[in-house]
Amino acid sequence: MQNFILIGSAIFCFLHSYRDWLHSKKNFNSWFTRVGHYWDAPQYEIHGMIFFFIAGCILLAVAIS
């Protein structure tokens, strides 16, 4: 059960990083890139991409081990 929670959290982190990448690098604007963002601060999206990618990798590594 713990592995499912960790893998689900890792998937969430990777999706969040992908959403920020689509929004900032590809200028893709749809419901997927707008959901969950209360304010538009593109200068901080690179920080979110890095943080959520690293968090996803750590969660996935813990789930696999």
- Report the pLDDT averaged over residues 11-24: 88
Per-residue pLDDT reduced to its tens digit, 22-64: 888 777 777 676 676 666 666 777 888 899 999 999 999 999 9
Is the model more confident about 31 or about 6?
6
Q: Is the predicted pLDDT of residue 11 greater than 90, yes or no?
A: yes
pLDDT of res. 46: 84
Task: Give Cα 11 distance to the centre of its chain.
Answer: 8
Q: How confident is the model at residue 4 (pLDDT cuts 50, 70, 90)?
A: very high
Distance separating alpha carbons of residues 34 and 60, to the nearest angstrom: 26
